[in-house]
Structure 1
């Protein structure tokens, strides 16, 4: 079975992780099936495991990718490229630094209003340490909403203009490859059952084939991004794409959408198992990277509900965006009044709520267990969207800088060390 606890991670008293985990809840002993703890007003964090140690022993698993997604919109005057720890990553994927112009030339332009001044220093930082830098193109922020992407891909002339424009950027900045992040060919606009083009899946293959020929001739990388199980056979012709791509990203998370009616875990293991098994039947395992996010989608629990736990009814109300990233979640916990729950019903999961604002998130416990799926199936590695909203300086959670990213790296390296969960 793919889902299992990381029982090789030791507690400070020498017990196995699976034995001692339930006892490390703020001084509480056996708390049973549900480990529910409320933050004190004066204490922002809850230590479910012993102190985190960065100096961990390793079993030598050093060939796994840890692709760090870096988003331009997360930089500000206080947090710039200088705050990125290059040593924690094997690759960098840079997102929203360029956008498609509005004219018919389909030229990619510097996204200057989104902190573009960090772009070239980031490229230099990673390439100085021989770590590939990938350009991501394909979302609304890049001037490529699904409808526009569909129109570009539908004609040979516009495809050629678009490909040449992207290649110009890659060559100008000496980048190492491309993530063509067209996440929803076939179905697009806000509703998955809305407007569609029956030819998008075919045109996506055409586009990827052109990019593959141009990139591989220069020994560069081409990456693709998958979608939910529902669209597995609709969106992508994986048999054709397998020969074109070097890496394929599987989002190891699923956020509650407009049709959700109750609180739920954002990345249940049964979904991940299904995604992995389906993709492994077509795409080579050594090309697959699983996603572990540091951003989330908060929801609002129905005020009339009695108690809050998994399966509690939701209410369609404005959500608390302060719960939408790992760093901001820690900052909210520091204010007090937050309830954090780990492993409800003996299933590896984490969620938090403040009053009626609720979010499922990936704690270090969840992230480490997800890495087991990568190792057990000998997949290529993990990608993390977005490391720029991890606790980059360690000040929000007080668990060390890049807490989630470090936890993933240690697990990928086969480390036998202890971690602390935050918040």
Structure 2
């Protein structure tokens, strides 16, 4: 089994998710959902953003949410603030909020000049003009380690695909500026607001960063999921990195979320938290999160939104592994997503379904499992019964 990196996960549903939803969703519903998220075992939760209600009316009442929710000890709560005014507003609620500061002062730039104009009302050149200021501030504070980063890293809905060579050229320039002042680069960040990530591109990017600068041991990926590539791309990064590396990821329960500036709206989405963490647990990467409680959060969010969200584990359930969680082999047809919730709600969800079998199904394999054994005795496949026609082992 590969030695995977340490993974830090941040839940963004209350910000990335809510910022594209109906602004009339009640504060009570939002607080209920936030309190439920606090009980799942998630260690980092973004509660919203302190931004202008003119452009993001969904966040107009963020102050009420922060004062009404129940912080859980051990959970870090943060909020997005895009300027000094937003930071000052957030400071009024610290604690319970932690005023988020990047562990590394970072040079960052959007690869797409169109998107950055639409999203932040500035140009790519204006972003780069700030780099000397960031470096000077780091020097004044005697900072020893820093970061580099790009956004819209692999492509744009307005400009098309960006080869990884372009990304590396931009990171190379940023890295050289830190080198010039003797500050070591330990972190690289790659964002993807317009869902252009693919496993191949992310794998190549992370591999080339590590190959070019082995001392970089912290990778941050912000992956949107409009084309259903976010989880596969996160997995690709995990395969490249090792146990001495840290991979920072984020996503949203149910995969909801969106960006009004990229042209995809609610279709932008993010990796569904429950799906990504379910995969990580199966890979042997501990998350400390209760998937069952996450599913409750998704179902609550769906009730609040009035529609199904985009994740899968919340619909089909986690992989059944214990005897208690295995499905009844004589269950009737299960045809709807509502009846599929029997994994959590019980057999009443499919009661009255079509039952086409003339007699009950039996299985010697299942009998073994029910008795506490494995369906097969060993890796070679020793079957419950012997047949002359079955090829002999060895």
Structures share fold, TM-score greater than 0.5: no
Task: Give the number of the structure with larger relative contact order, counting CA–CA contacts within 8 Å between residues 6 or more apart.
Answer: 1
Question: TM-score of the superposition, structure 1-length normalised?
Answer: 0.39
Larger Rg: 2
Question: TM-score of the superposition, structure 2-length normalised?
Answer: 0.41
